[in-house]
Structure 1
């Protein structure tokens, strides 16, 4: 077995190949004295180039779950809330006391729907549970980008991001469809997005800009893969669906640490349901305070 990284950004990384030999022990078959050990020449798989986005897209599009037309996956078919998130880089304005190297005293940042997330001093979950959100977070995270543009074409002139601690609030058991669209601002790049608290179904993905009229017709609602992390394709989009049935505060963020530190993250708040087992339990009495 052999593997190498897949990367689409300009950053320097370890491009060496890792290899291993996997040997199966025979559980059944001829006795040990009758076994013949045949030594075969060691062959090395031919791997795609580290930045072969076309290969990566074709490979991930083939992934399916074990469900089938007789026993389809438990994908939400009636959607309560639709979201469209742009995912990518941009420029953050620096303060007057800073001397940043970007145009007009800016530095590189990352954002979802143009909001570069700022971690608050107080814990989000604590503020939500005790209803002390004032000054900690705002529940007005934008449900779509602030303006439309050719997301995977020539970048617009408006590339300055805003900062904020903003969340999306969902009633218990809300069925969600989320389209995540990569952008070409500063550079198109694959972003591995990870959602805490839930698995989701990857119902579609494609190259270029998502088309809300034609692309949903090709969504896979029979045997899509179920995951908690998905790569937003470089210069493309991915569609996921999940049911918000886990009360609490849940981060969604890029797994590239530099992008996460730049603000490529946001949070979902799922409210309590009506039944006892649908409510967020209180913190234990001996939980250390933040």
Structure 2
């Protein structure tokens, strides 16, 4: 199935130059690296390591409670008022996130019904060849669906890029936690083969990671921060199109492991 949307894939390079500053100097253009220097960029990314010292230990989860695969990309939904009959949307596991009119954190804390569901799929509903050039599985469902984990659970998320409509690098940011980037590769993630090369000794610790175009990245974290936490693309247009989801992290056993109530003077949205 061919995409009914034409994409202008031209790339331009520009230099931003501020005038009037004390150190202002004329801009000098240099030859940038090739836009398809994938091997060089991949080698550099794989060379990054954490300190993993006595002062800064690298506490990577060795055992995993939640094995998640999130297929990330763009989709098309029917639109009777749109020029091509479709509206471009973004999604994770074919779910285009819909922002509620009520705060998710308030809805979770006060058990307000009807604001969200906790049935976000931990895997794509219909597995397919995610990085194929032929566009498939483009339809998405709309919903405010969250994924629930217990306090202190270990979570592994494989963020899988897709070839739907317009493949590109997606910078994915997780609120509320740092995570360890334990693996990265091109093509479709293979749970049998690719996990053998995971770095569980000294991977980099981050809160934002780039999902490579036509590839995947694996992250791990401990859910030790109760509340509702977004995971979303940092390309604003994709976030506004629905490329986001949220984790509910349940309370632990004590007051230091539980979500605090909102203050009485909390401003209303």
Q: Deviations over 1:90-131 (max 9, x none)?
A: 10222xxx42133xx211110000000000010100000001
What is the CA–CA distance in structure 2 between the aligned matches of 1:250 and 1:287, rounded to whole Å?
19
| Cα deviations by residue, 1:187-244 (Å, 9 ceiling, x for unpaired) | 2211000000000000000000000001000000111000000000110000000000
Preserved CA contact (<8 Å) 1:68 1:223 = no
- Aligned-partner Cα distance in 1 for 2:51–2:257: 29
Provide the secondary structure at the position in 1 that maps to 2:114: coil
Secondary structure of 1:121's aligned partner: coil
Contact 1:72 1:222 in 2 (8 A): no
Matched with 1:34 is: none
TM-score where L is the length of structure 2: 0.87
For 1:213, what is the secondary structure of its paired residue? coil
Q: 3-state DSSP class of the match of 2:195?
A: helix
CA RMSD in angstroms, aligned pairs only: 2.3
Match of 2:234 among 237, 245, 255: 255
Identify which of 43, 46, 65 aligns with 1:61: 46
What TM-score comes out, normalization by structure 1 length?
0.81
Q: Please list every run of 5 or more consecutive structure 2 residues that lacks an aligned counterpart in the other structure.
A: 1-6, 19-27
Q: Tell me the residue number matched to 2:183.
A: 204
Report 1:82-231 matches (<5 A): 82-94=67-79, 98-102=80-84, 105-132=85-112, 134-231=113-210
CA change 1:150–1:262 in 2 (3 A) is same
CA contact (8 A) 1:204 1:218 kept: yes
Q: Distance in 1 between matches of 2:71 and 2:17?
A: 36
Distance 2:195 2:249 in 1: 26
Distance 1:10 1:193, change over 3 A: farther
SS at match of 1:150: coil
Higher radius of gyration, 1 or 2: 1
Q: Which runs of 5+ in 1 are unaligned?
A: 1-8, 21-42
Return closer, same or farther for 1:264/1:248 CA change in 2, 3 Å cut-off.
Answer: same
When residues 93 and 147 of structure 1 are mapped into structure 2, their CA distance, relative to the original with a 3 A threshold, is same
Alignment length, in residue pairs? 253
- Rounded to whole Å, the distance in 1 between the matches of 2:239 and 2:11 is 17
